[in-house]
Structure formats: structure tokens, C-alpha cells
Amino acid sequence: MNLIAVGVNHNTAPIELREKISLTDSMARSLLTELIDSKLASEALVLSTCNRTELYVVPAMPEVTANYLKDYLIAHKGVRKEVTRDHFFNYFACGAARHFYNVACAIDSLILGEVQIIGQVKTAYNRAVEMKTVGPILNKMCHTGFGLANRVRSKTKLTAGAVSVSYAAVELTQKIYSDVSTKNILLVGAGDTAKLAAKNLLDKRVRDFYITNRTYEKAELLAQELGTGKILPLEEMTERLHEFDIVVTAVGGNDHIIKKEHVAAAMQKRHRDPILILDLGLPRNVAPEVGQVNNVFLKDIDDLKMIIDSNLEKRRAEIPKVKHFIQKELIEYARWYFSLEVKPTIVDLQEKFFEIKALELARIKNKVSAEEYERMEQLSDRIIKKLLHFPITTLKQQTADTTDPVSFIRNIFDLKEQEEEFPGLTFPINLKEQNNN
């Protein structure tokens, strides 16, 4: 199989080097154009995300090796001093296809089972299709990968459960409140963690919440970006804390922004109605003593990490099932590829048989009537098709070279196994040596 994959990912290089070799969309397009126009590759695909830059190539000439492609990508980015061949992986033939399937199914991801990767893979494929740099080999590989990713999502639990702090926080709210959308929610903070938590809440049908932050303008900007959210001035937070069923904090700084006395006062106004406080800050935003107040459920990053670790363990348990799916598809892909390689042989075989038929029938053409000749020709065609059916089918399904020619012939013509004429009889004597004596 003439297929090479080279690249840099989180397993082979640190982030500072991955950043140097990463490709923007325009860079990826330029690289694809160069590879095809310079006749280095007959097919090419570039996948570049925050954690990987990978190149899948069907070489068009023998000198296009894995090392050639590594050097080519390094030169294309102009990073010879920083990035070397040692920072790359390389895979060949079925190994390259297997790696692509591992990536598409998210078992090669930094975050096991992440759902974003399949979208990134499809973007890479669509770009290559638009650039006309994919042909039958990469086309088949990609569509098989898309099908595998769908099957993994539907038939396994690889993508189940939260594996990020912000998503774990939302998952925990659902365990405590069956319908989060009916609860009053306060988001304390306007940074990246708070934004992710807000987006995850919106995914759970939460349509409105309050946002408070030390900088009022940042809270307004977050609300505008999310398309929802009322702004609560920070100085009013402690007085209105009792209005909220769920409080999510994610602000910087070393001070506890919510203290025990604030929550105790709020609980009196709530008439002991439970409140869930999720502290995503590091250092913590909420005083640990808050958890001592009755009917207050306080969870911090360590509590959420336990949920994440448990979910990751469950995801890891799904890997053998995913690999089983991949192995089955890899065998089918290899068979399909081999059928492309044997196609010229099949055509030659068919032509040879029909050529012999034509020569033999020509010898008797003038000795029989036109009607008899036509019947003989039709009969010959049917015989040839039946004779060739099993050999052609076997050739298409063959995935490895056959070292035993007798077994190969018996196999392609579907000949029954011969019974041993003298079962159990062996000849330990070298007959050649005996004849020489």
C-alpha cells in the first residue's frame, strides 16, 4: 500500500514546537498545492489542530519518503533550527490508515474521546476535496474514518461523561437538579473558565442567568458574546445571594469572594432551601467553611477532578471495543486497496482467456454453421466467466503474498482439499542422497 503519514502531535513534541509547525488554513492550502503541482504526491491531506499537524500522502515518485516529507514540512514552515525529524511520527500503508482512524475516533486525542476532533478531520478533508488533492485512496480512508467515528459515538461510551472542569460542574448540577433550566443561576467571573461553564449551561437548555465580575465591562462583554445574561454589580452579590439556586465561581485572586457569613445569611432568607455552589477558582473563590452551612452543597476543583477521573477511567475501558471496530475496517480497507492493485492483472487474465477462446473458435468457424458457431461462442463465454469467477473474487480478497504456489492455485480455483494417498507416512530419508549411493 503506497501511503505515508508523518506529523507532530502531543505524543511526539511539546506545545512550543507544535505551535511552530502548525498550519493555518491558507498555509495548508499552499502546502497541498505545492505537493500536487510539483508532482511529489498524487494525493495529499493536511490535518492541523492545536495539538497536531499531520500530513497524509500518496507519493508520486520513489524519493518521496517519510523523511523527505518531514524535511519538506520543516522547510515549508522555516523552522529547521527548532524542529527536527525526531519530533515527528511516521506510519506507512495500513499503519497510516490505522493512525488516521485512531485520530478520527478520538483515541489518539490529548483528551480521550473529545468530540471536536471529528469536525476538524472533516474540515481537513473538505479542504482537500476543494483543492482536488484527494483521490480514491484518501477518499476511501476518510469516509471509512467518518463511519467509524459515528459508530464509536453510537455503539460505545467513549464520549460519555465530563472530562473538563467546566463541563463536570454542569454535569454535577444535573445530578442534583433534574431540570437545571428552571433554576436561578449566578455566574461569578467573566474569564475563559466562566465562559465555558456558561456555554455548557446553555447547552443544557438554560436560557438566562446572572453574571457578576470585578470588572463590570467584562461581564457585559461576556453577556454580549453569549447572547444572554443579566449583569449583577459585584457589590450587590452578597445581598442578593439568596435569590440563586446555583452559584458558579471562576475568578482570579487570592481572596475568598464568598464567605461563610454571606451564605449563612442567604440561607436564612431562603428558608433552608438548598443551594449548590461550584467553586472553579484556583486559588479557591469560596471559603471552605461555607460547606459547613446546612443545605449548602459546596464543590471545588478537587471534587470535580474526582468526577473527571472516574469518567476518564470509563472512557479508557471503551478503547478495546473501539480498536476492534478499527481493526475490522482496516482489514476491509486493505482488501479494497489490494483489489485496486490486482485490477490490471484481472483485466489481463480475462483478456487472455477470451483471446484463447477466439483463436480456438476461429479454427472451426468455417466447419460449422453460423447458428452452431454462435451457440459455441455463447457457451464458451459462459464457461470462461464461470472458470474465472472464483479466481477473480479470491484475488480481490487476497491481502498478503502467498508463498506456497500449490495452495494458492487450489485456493483461487476453489479446489477441494486432497486426501493423503498414504496418511501418516513420512519420508525421513533424503532420496537424492540415497540415489547417489
Known catalytic residue: 50?
A: yes
Question: What is the DSSP track for 229-255?
Answer: -EE--GGGHHHHGGG-SEEEE---SSS
pLDDT value, residue 272: 80
Residue 433 has pLDDT above 50, yes or no: no
Average pLDDT over residues 35-49: 97
pLDDT for the residue 405: 64
Tens digit of each residue's pLDDT (9 = 90 or more) over 268-306: 999 889 999 999 998 999 999 999 999 999 999 999 999
Which amino acid, 95? Answer: G
Query: Which of 50, 94, 105, 142 does the annotation list as catalytic?
Result: 50
Residue 402: per-residue pLDDT: 53
Q: For 18-40, what is each residue's pLDDT tens digit?
A: 999 999 999 999 999 999 999 99
* 434 — pLDDT class (breaks 50, 70, 90): very low
Closest CA to 248 of 287, 198, 283, 199: 198
pLDDT at site 428:
46
Residue 426 pLDDT more than 50? no
Q: What is the pLDDT of residues 123-176, one digit of tens each?
A: 999 999 999 999 999 999 999 999 999 999 999 999 998 888 888 998 899 888
For residue 345, name the pLDDT band (cuts at 50, 70, 90). confident
pLDDT value at residue 359: 93
Which residues 6+ apart lie within 8 Å of 146 measured at CB?
104, 118, 121, 122
The pLDDT of residue 423 is 47
> Among 2-6, 316-320, 425-429, whose mean pLDDT is lowest?
425-429
What percent of the chain lies above the pLDDT cut of 90?
A: 73
DSSP state of 258: B
In the annotated binding site, the residues are 49-52, 109, 114-116, 120, 189-194
**Residues 161, 308: Cα–Cα separation, whole Å:** 8
Q: Over the chain, what is the mean pLDDT? A: 90
**In which region does residue 121 sit, left (phi positive, over 0), alpha (psi from -120 to 50) or beta (all else)?**
alpha
- Cβ neighbours around 30 below 10 Å, total: 15
430 vs 218: which has the higher pLDDT? 218
Q: How far, in Å, CA of 228 to CA of 249, rounded?
A: 18
pLDDT in tens, 69-121: 999 999 999 999 899 999 999 999 999 999 999 999 999 999 899 988 999 99
Comparing 22-31, 101-110, 254-263, 420-429, which segment has the lowest mean pLDDT?
420-429
Q: Regarding beta strands 4-9 and 89-92, do their DSSP bridges make them parallel or antiparallel, or are they unpaired? A: antiparallel
Question: Which structural domains are found in the chain, ordered by start?
Answer: 4-160 (3.30.460.30), 165-301 (3.40.50.720), 338-413 (no CATH)
Cell numbers that stand for 210 in this block: 446572572
Respond yes or no on whether the N-terminal peptide bond of residue 283 is cis (omega within 30° of 0): yes
pLDDT for the residue 42:
97
Q: What is residue 416's predicted lDDT score, i.e. its pLDDT? A: 65
Mark the binding-site residues for substrate, compressed into ranges. 49-52, 109, 114-116, 120
Binding residues for NADP(+): 189-194
